[in-house]
Amino acid sequence: MKQTEIKEFLDEKAEKFNRPVFIETDPIQVPKLFSQKENIEIAAFLTAAISWGSRPAIIKSALRLMQLMDNHPYDFITQNSGKKLEHLESFVHRTFNGQDCIYFARSLKNIYQNHGGLQQVFTAGFSKGNSVKEALAHFYTVFFELPGARTRKHIANVERGAAAKRLNMFLRWLVRDDNCGVDFGLWKGIPASALMLPLDVHTGNVARKLGLLQRKQNDWKAVEEVTGVLCKFDPQDPVKYDFALFGLGIFEKF
């Protein structure tokens, strides 16, 4: 296929999957339960953070986590500490356990009380170099201001080459605003044109089959390579093609 044909093919698939029906089987349904900005972004972050494994399992775990936080994650995180946080010790999703969960809650409390919230942390990092990589690196530093070495494995470190699929997905959810009803478009400090593809096994395999990605590893260099190609297809909104690549891999077994 020629580049123009690939673009037309992906445009068609992006339009097919980027619609509200997509939410029914996707973890984004969890933050969609909320209306307050802070609840949305915290629910989105926590859901994205545990988004590995099967999507039904991810959704089930994320919903349980919201229940443990009294279905009001912002109030739970900012108003509780000590004994109340021990309520989270029972949470487990694959290798993410209760102690990780408690660290996440404590770190998020620090972010909202001392750094202006998640949006401020990511946009402050982005402003350093007008790049999502800077945003992700800055977030990693702020998130681990508190002691908690074990939990570091659950947040991608782009400075060590991680693809940061879950964090890039989280940013797609919060930043993109295309009036299609899937992504939230709540954050204005980072433009959609700067977003990076949430690269995983599915999007990577489809991208390679279409000739959009040559690198074999799913790492940050691969994210930069494939997003660079997608930027040629749509410079203002390259990660809309996440819907196409993911949908082709998951739903159409491309």
Does 240 have pLDDT greater than 80?
yes
Give the pLDDT band (50/70/90) at residue 150. Answer: confident
- Predicted model pTM: 0.96
Percent of the chain scoring above 90 in pLDDT: 94
Long-range contacts of 44-50 (CB under 8 A, 24+ apart): 44/170, 44/173, 44/174, 44/184, 45/108, 45/118, 45/170, 46/73, 46/104, 48/166, 48/167, 48/169, 48/170, 48/173, 49/96, 49/104, 49/154, 49/155, 49/166, 49/170, 50/93, 50/94, 50/96
Which residue, among 127, 117, 120, has the nearest Cα to 191 in the 3D structure? 127
> What is the reported pLDDT for 40?
98
Q: What is the pLDDT of residues 66-125, one digit of tens each?
A: 999 999 999 999 998 888 899 899 999 999 999 999 999 999 999 999 999 999 999 999
* DSSP-assigned states of every residue in 128-141: HHTSHHHHHHHHHH
Q: For 73, list phi and psi in degrees, rounded to 5.
A: -60, -35
Q: Which two tokens stand for residue 48?
A: 């994205």
Q: What is the pLDDT of residues 172-206, one digit of tens each?
A: 999 999 999 999 999 999 999 999 999 999 999 99
Does 209 have pLDDT greater than 90?
yes
Does 213 have pLDDT greater than 90?
yes
Listed by start position, the domains of the chain span 3-250
Mean pLDDT of 26-52: 98
Mean pLDDT of 28-54: 97
> What is the reported pLDDT for 84?
87
